[in-house]
Amino acid sequence: MRFLFVYETAAGKVRDLLAELLVQDVHVIVARRGELSPRSADQALLEQHSGAEAAACELNRKYRKNVQGFVTFTVEPRKFRAEDRQLRDWLTRRDPAEESPRTWPAPETAFLDAATSPSLCLLSGALDTANRLDESRWAFAAKSADLLRNHADGGSDLGPFREWQANHGVAFAANGRVEYRYRASTRTDRYNRPSQWHLKAGDRTSPELAARIYFTVAELDGRSIVLVAHVGPHPSDGSYSADFGEIELAT
């Protein structure tokens, strides 16, 4: 794993560049205004991968000093520019320490594993087309499954969905041309709301390369439950029903 430190004002542009270059092995750490060190989840990763290679864009000196004991900075452009050749070459270079590329599980397998969490539910048929995704998107699907499971299990350090691209390399969108109406219930509560929320990788390309994961977070009996309606290629634009029926919450 490599790390890219970037100041918050450039986080959105970094997100777009990573998506364009299909970068999977670089973890982005966003330095927010007033922060002099990473947040706890990022700090834990730095400690776990101590000595990893890193790049930094627009990082203040005090912040850099506090993390330089955990990483080796090799690329440090003064300002972030998406066309910066040195940065682009660094991002697209595979880590030489990796003797072979990581093998990712099939999307169906990744989400079936995630669904072992009592707080993540799959709609019947949600995985019917999951494995039709191009294999270049399997890493995205596996990372998404892990993130959604961790969120379902109460992962408070994951940050807001809108920051997942910058922090975890997985893009979130709150709106789009596909909408699911989610229905779920327990013996004492009901949930019935539409949502366009989805995680995505790939735009303006073939369905197999345009990976989409449609989900929402439902409040039932005072608990947050992640409901996953679709994992696979981009579905046709339109409205869909996602009826989960009665859910038995673990006690």
Residue 87 lies in a domain: yes
Residue 101 has pLDDT above 60, yes or no: no
Domain match, 30 and 152 both: no
Domain match, 135 and 225 both: yes
Using one digit for the tens of pLDDT, what is the confidence trace for 177-231? 999 999 999 999 999 999 999 999 887 778 888 899 999 999 999 899 999 999 9
Q: Which of 92, 125, 145 finishes a domain?
A: 92
State the CB neighbour count (10 A cutoff) for residue 104: 18
Domain count, the chain: 2
Using one digit for the tens of pLDDT, what is the confidence trace for 24-61? 889 999 999 889 999 888 988 888 888 889 999 988 88
Domain match, 61 and 20 both: yes
- Containing domain of residue 76, as a range? 2-92
Domain match, 128 and 83 both: no
Domain match, 131 and 216 both: yes
* 233 in Cβ contact with 208 (< 8 Å): yes
- For the chain, the straight-line distance linking the first and the last C-alpha, in angstroms and rounded, comes to 37
Q: Which of 92, 119, 144 finishes a domain?
A: 92
Using one digit for the tens of pLDDT, what is the confidence trace for 59-100? 888 999 899 888 899 999 888 988 898 999 999 876 555 545
Residue 251 lies in a domain: no
Q: How far apart are CA 45 and CA 70, in angstroms?
A: 10
Q: Which of 58, 92, 126 finishes a domain?
A: 92
Domain match, 166 and 241 both: yes
Q: How far apart are CA 148 and CA 158, in angstroms?
A: 10
Residue 160 lies in a domain: yes
pTM: predicted TM-score of the whole model, two decimal places: 0.62
Q: How far apart are CA 105 and CA 145, in angstroms?
A: 11
Domain match, 112 and 87 both: no
Q: How confident is the model at residue 127 (pLDDT cuts 50, 70, 90)?
A: very high
Q: How far apart are CA 225 and CA 247, in angstroms?
A: 10
Q: How far apart are CA 37 and CA 65, in angstroms?
A: 9
